[in-house]
Amino acid sequence: MKVTKKIVLEEHDMPTRWYNIVADMPNKPLPMLNPTTKQPTTKEEFEVLFSKGAAEQEFSTERWIDIPDEVRDLYRIYRPTPLVRASGLEKALDTPAKIYFKNESVSPVGSHKLNSAIPQAYYNKIQGIKHLTTETGAGQWGSALSIASKHFGLDLTVFMVKVSYEQKPYRKSVMHTYGATVIPSPSMTTGIGRQFNQDYPNTAGSLGMAISEAVEQALNQPDTRYALGSTMSHVCLHQTIIGEEARKQMEIAGDYPDIVIGCFGGGSNFAGISFPFMRDNLVNGAKTRFIAAEPASCPKLTRGQYAYDFGDAQGVTPLIPMYTLGHGFQPAAIHAGGLRYHGAGSYVSQLAHDGYIEGRDVNQLDAFKAGILFSQAEGIIPAPESTHAICVAIQEALKAKEEGTEKVILFNLSGHGLIDMASYDRYFAGDLNNYIVPQELIDENVNDLMKL
Ligand SMILES: *Cc1c(COP(=O)(O)O)cnc(C)c1O
């Protein structure tokens, strides 16, 4: 019997609500703290930096949150996204496991990031905000927010991590095409950027530094707010449209996942594919495994500290309860730029702490190797970030083969790699290596943190 290769939903089957997992969490996460007073951050404080809509959702404990019609209208450009049976990969691995992936690479920017960029721009626009600032690593988030900002008539400044600005010039062109201003970070445009340049000459930059710059500019400019592409609970919330669609599609396929896998930067695409299935673990006692695939060079879940830490490198954001490598940690310049972040979002961290999520470290060379096998078996060249999820999916499929079990594996293909070919070229040229963080480097960065 031929397997159905891809399961596509109609536009009218697109979910109308995002799923807010906090409503079902057995242990609620600790509150964010104001860095000065050490008191819980209030919604009003949060609104100084973020849109009111984002603040509302960040603090909401409602299980379901309606997706505004204007947001659903834009989602229709690329949603619902296909669920694909990785039959080619199954064959290449000769595994009895059934492998499915949710293909978020079909969005116009080639990744899941647009799922949160659209609502974030929308909430700013209805509040009368004129300018947005943000950071971007590999450029995926900056590209996504560029599209959404242009659509809703906001102007956007993107601080792009310097190493990515140099490694991925086309991402910058993409942002320019959508009308955004792009500045390599650390820059000389902000006070904190000048400070970073002075303290760390020749730094490759980091997401933490770029966040500090974007935050500074948002706070110092009228009618401006900041938007973040990962980590925060409202971002994870927006991404649950991935898993809500996947639930419907898995049902049509007549399967239910034993294992759900996502690559892990700050946790948003992982949360997006996982949370809607995790609901069954939390509420109905299901036993699905959830594996977060992180780079061995930035291993916050497996080797980080569970502590209160800042979201940025300078220490201006609220203190967030998170698995972290320390906000001063500067990740190696690996080619999965979107995974070069020191911390994990608070819901994901609490759920990992409570045993619902497993972290797994993946080496850069293993990730690229998995990405190339996937490209040849399935035809899609994955983003270097996504190759981490693919690598874990392959490990699990091979384990199923060893055990002779017909496991159902679902992973999120968070993006395609067509603008990342320079990274693939460097892999083919033998220029890349594995980098495993020395324990002392982690220890010295988490030493002073408020441990949980
Ligand atoms: C940004 C990005 C990631 C990592 O971010 P998360 O918030 O952890 O999802 C992963 N994959 C791609 C393609 C990205 O652009």
Q: What separation in Å is there between the alpha carbon of 192 and the centre of ligand 1?
A: 25
Instruction: Tally the C-alpha atoms within 13 A of residue 64's C-alpha that lie toward its C-beta.
Output: 5
Question: Given pLDDT bands bounded at 50, 70 and 90, which one contains residue 1?
Answer: low
pLDDT digits (tens, 9 = 90+) for 112-131: 999 999 999 999 999 999 99
- pLDDT of 110 reads 97
Percent of the chain with pLDDT over 90: 91
Q: What separation in Å is there between the alpha carbon of 389 and the centre of ligand 1?
A: 11
For 45, 155, 226, 398, the CA distances from 223, given in Å and listed in that order, are 16, 11, 10, 53
- pLDDT of 434 reads 92
Q: What separation in Å is there between the alpha carbon of 337 and the centre of ligand 1?
A: 9
Question: Given pLDDT bands bounded at 50, 70 and 90, which one contains residue 50?
Answer: very high
Asked whether the predicted pLDDT for residue 57 surpasses 70, the reply is yes
The total of other beta-carbon atoms located within 10 Å of residue 222's CB is: 7
Predicted model pTM: 0.96
Nearest CA owner, ligand 1 atom 8 = 265
- pLDDT of 77 reads 97
Angle, in degrees to the nearest 10, between helices 114-126 and 233-253: 130
Asked whether the predicted pLDDT for residue 411 surpasses 70, the reply is yes
pLDDT digits (tens, 9 = 90+) for 76-108: 999 999 999 999 999 999 999 999 999 999 999
| Arithmetic mean of pLDDT, 332-355 | 92
Counting from 1 in the atom list of ligand 1, the atom nearest the Cα of 272 is 9
Counting from 1 in the atom list of ligand 1, the atom nearest the Cα of 105 is 13
- pLDDT of 109 reads 94
Ligand 1 pocket test, candidate residues 238, 264, 269, most atoms within 8 A of CB:
269
Ligand 1 pocket test, candidate residues 109, 140, 147, most atoms within 8 A of CB:
140
The distance in angstroms from the start CA to the end CA of the chain is 53
Q: What separation in Å is there between the alpha carbon of 113 and the centre of ligand 1?
A: 7
- pLDDT of 168 reads 82
Asked whether the predicted pLDDT for residue 2 surpasses 80, the reply is no
| Arithmetic mean of pLDDT, 23-29 | 98
Q: What separation in Å is there between the alpha carbon of 300 and the centre of ligand 1?
A: 15
269 lines ligand 1 (CB under 6 A): yes
414 lines ligand 1 (CB under 6 A): yes
15 lines ligand 1 (CB under 6 A): no
3-state percent breakdown (helix, strand, coil) of the chain, nearest 5: 45, 20, 35
Beta strand residue intervals within 218-304, DSSP E: 224-226, 259-263, 289-295
Q: What separation in Å is there between the alpha carbon of 339 and the centre of ligand 1?
A: 7
264 lines ligand 1 (CB under 6 A): yes
Structure tokens at 282: 């939390």
State whether the Cα torsion 122-123-126-128 is positive or negative. Answer: negative
Counting from 1 in the atom list of ligand 1, the atom nearest the Cα of 229 is 7
267 lines ligand 1 (CB under 6 A): yes
pLDDT digits (tens, 9 = 90+) for 141-169: 999 999 999 999 999 999 999 988 988 88
